[in-house]
Amino acid sequence: MKEDILDELAWQPSIDETQIGVIVENGIVTLTGVVDSYAKKAATEKAVLNLIRAKGVINNEGHN
């Protein structure tokens, strides 16, 4: 699932997937890293939620 998430993030034009860490444990996705806006943080979370297999998202990304 981690590779699917990274692939999904790579397709999002407003997201730099190299700034985002992805941890998957028991179907729960945790995102880490720093993005420069709340809109990018929300876009990242939405992209992950679009992957139906994720049971939940913990978004620990910060933004400047």
> What's the mean pLDDT in 19-48?
87
pLDDT by residue (tens digit) across 10-29? 988 888 888 899 988 887 88
The answer for residues whose C-beta is within 8 angstroms of residue 26's C-beta and 6 or more apart is: 55
41 HSE (CA, 13 A, CB side): 15
Q: Domains (ranges, CATH) in the chain?
A: 2-63 (3.30.1340)
pLDDT of 54 strictly over 80: no
Q: What is the pLDDT of residue 53?
A: 62
Query: Considering the chain, what percentage of its residues have pLDDT values greater than 90?
Result: 2
Query: Considering the chain, what percentage of its residues have pLDDT values greater than 70?
Result: 89
Calculated CA dihedral for residues 40, 58, 55, 53, nearest 10 degrees: 40
Calculated CA dihedral for residues 30, 34, 40, 46, nearest 10 degrees: 0
Q: Are 14 and 21 in contact (CB under 8 A)?
A: no
